[in-house]
A and B are shown apart, each in its own frame.
Chain A
């Protein structure tokens, strides 16, 4: 399935985008605040300087004079090395200072410093002005103290802060991006765990998923479980239906067969007898197919909840051979049993194992020519237990051996023999239910097939 976008990528880009926005906001805020603080500092010092000068103004002999306080100008040199200008006017006449320093354009209240930024001698300056009334009530005049300073120190502070803020914002962004990458992976980890839990399951494991999942995934897991539940129910119903159908078909078939045999005895004409024999053979095959479907349904059902009991595989194999002995005898087929003389213990479902073996052996007898030999052997090797059935029949022809165990798949050379194609499927299902495999090969010694049922120890 081609994925439509990636949650991880989207999550990462969104988190990184948020980080970038926050970094930018941080940068702007820090720079704004710092520049305002630096400007505020300069304004404060300018105001203090102007106030100190205004405080030193005194009336003298009808006019005004002042002693420029040393601190008024020296304090302006404490922050940077900016140029400083000042001017004191009384009633519009310059008392002292730079008489080309622009007078403040702002209307101001007495005593309150008024600030503005202006251009003076090719430099940007910050200007503060304070108005101060002087003299007695009758001859009152207004002195205006103006102090100005260039802003190079401010610019250099601003540059420093900008550099610092840029560095911090960039660092924050990169750290946040790395963390987003981690967060995106971490947030999506439950998906990986769920995927793994579901992938690890066997093909027939339709139990509900019980892995711990975060609340966001619970609806998905619930939906998945509900879906699997319905699927399982549906499968069961199908198997039940097949079993029921097979059962219902087999019983009447037995009656039909009995009636056909009775009729066969009564008939005298050869062509009639032949027709009845054909009929009986067809009934046998139908009955046999119905039996296998029953077996298959049973295997499917029991494999779901496998019961494990202590078994002796030798006994199981012996019993199977014994049960099919009469069938083999009909075709004069000899069954050789190569078994260890001690018990071979195995934890498994006896009914399933017997069904599997019965199907394999039955297949062997069915496809073996008359007066041939079949070997049933039980061996133990490093891999596990191997139950092999080797015959001298026709083998499987030129068909992909791995496909033989598919349902209803049959050998390429069996057109003349009636069969359902379920036998090896049943055997393999049983093997897999026990954690084993079914190996299908041609007989190593001459013609025939070798089907091995391999179980883990």
Chain B
């Protein structure tokens, strides 16, 4: 067992004194042999999720100390876009914000055999590289849904809620898109993909939908039976929770499933690009390490998945992702969303 130096949140704050973006945690993984370089990573993935990957990376590169800073998607964006914080690698689940970083010229171009091997939809401008594919799923409580009774499409879900208003009142949950970047991304993609989305929001609003910041809380409440179902839960996280938490099931709706891609990019402020590039190569090889996939719960990029299930749709990179980041568009969307869902 390796001895890790865990810095407390307070210490981390002290280290980053003067920084305006908020960090949740900071972990330093010292080099396993004589230290030759430091790789500073800013990431939105929890320590528990990413630690196996960092340790495996250090097995291959023993001289590298990994300085792992955990923050929210918006803070990550603020750190790099506005404050020019020095990080060698930025890993985020917010595809839209990563796209904006690249579009605004804050990402370095990196082009190797590993990045060339990526499917076209998994990279943009050779600056953003996707290394996981994580679907947005519906999580249902086993106590509410006897086997085989769960809705399979959004229309069925809407019908189910309409027909059983009392049974589901206050028993449905989803992301509060005002505070969750992942929730906002999924909601905006839903609004693009299907007219059913706004109807669903209306119905859920009438059901007094519970709003959450994180997938973990939703899963906990669904498993405990406090919620009947939760909409747009991060599928990879739910799958990893299934081993330890009982009482819930995962449903991939059959009309369509938006698939979020977790991405890495090298900011222009990076000082240690060599190790950052090595880390990207390592992350892109995640598919060849089933042990890491199961340890981290992060499903690697795999085109075969999309061929098997035609309902899966990877969210496409491109300027279109920046549309919902537009200030006016965002405030209009959130107003609509509040009108539908927060019916006070």
Instruction: Give A contacts to B, CB under 8 Å.
Output: 65-74, 76-77, 81, 83-85, 95-97, 121-123
CB distance from B148 to the nearest CB of A (A): 37
- Candidates A71, A74, A96, A121; contact of B328 at CB < 8 Å: A96
B199 at the A/B interface (Cβ < 8 Å)?
no
Q: Are A74 and B332 in contact (CB under 8 A)?
A: no
Q: Which of B295-326 contact A (CB under 8 A)?
A: 316-320, 322-324, 326
Q: Are B323 and A69 in contact (CB under 8 A)?
A: yes
Residues of A within 8 A of B329 (CB): 67-68, 96
Q: Are B328 and A68 in contact (CB under 8 A)?
A: yes
Given contacts A73-B320, A123-B105, 19 further A-B contacts (CB under 8 A): A67-B332, A68-B328, A70-B192, A70-B323, A70-B324, A71-B320, A73-B319, A74-B316, A74-B319, A74-B323, A77-B316, A77-B320, A81-B124, A81-B125, A81-B318, A83-B125, A83-B319, A85-B103, A97-B326
Q: Are B323 and A72 in contact (CB under 8 A)?
A: yes
- Count how many chain B residues have C-beta atoms less than 8 Å from C-beta atoms of the other chain: 20
B327 at the A/B interface (Cβ < 8 Å)?
yes
Residues of B within 8 A of A71 (CB): 320
The 22 listed contacts between A and B (C-beta, < 8 Å) are: A65-B328, A67-B332, A68-B323, A69-B323, A70-B192, A70-B323, A73-B319, A73-B320, A73-B323, A74-B316, A74-B318, A74-B319, A83-B103, A83-B104, A83-B105, A83-B125, A84-B322, A85-B103, A96-B326, A97-B326, A121-B105, A123-B105
Write the chain B residue with the least CB distance to A76: B319
Measured in the bound complex, the distance between the Cα atoms of B103 and A123 in whole Å is 12
Q: Are B104 and A121 in contact (CB under 8 A)?
A: yes
Main secondary structure of the interface of A (DSSP, over half): mixed
Specify which of B105, B192, B323 lies most central, judged by the most chain A CB atoms within 10 Å of its CB: B323
Q: How many A-B residue pairs have CB under 8 A?
A: 57
Measured in the bound complex, the distance between the Cα atoms of B318 and A121 in whole Å is 19
CB distance from B193 to the nearest CB of A (A): 11
Instruction: Give B contacts to A, CB under 8 Å.
Output: 102-105, 124-125, 192, 316-320, 322-324, 326-329, 332
Measured in the bound complex, the distance between the Cα atoms of B332 and A97 in whole Å is 15
CB distance from A101 to the nearest CB of B (A): 11
Measured in the bound complex, the distance between the Cα atoms of B326 and A340 in whole Å is 125
Residues of B within 8 A of A83 (CB): 102-105, 125, 319
Instruction: Contacts A81-B124, A83-B103 given; indicate if A65 touches B332 (C-beta within 8 A).
Output: yes
CB distance from A66 to the nearest CB of B (A): 6
Measured in the bound complex, the distance between the Cα atoms of B8 and A164 in whole Å is 60
Residues of A within 8 A of B192 (CB): 70
Measured in the bound complex, the distance between the Cα atoms of B319 and A70 in whole Å is 9
Residues of B within 8 A of A81 (CB): 124-125, 318
**9 interchain residue pairs of minimum CB distance:** A74-B320, A77-B318, A84-B319, A73-B319, A68-B326, A68-B329, A81-B125, A96-B328, A77-B319
Residues of A within 8 A of B327 (CB): 96
Q: Are A73 and B322 in contact (CB under 8 A)?
A: yes
Residues of B within 8 A of A76 (CB): 318-319
Write the chain A residue with the least CB distance to B325: A68
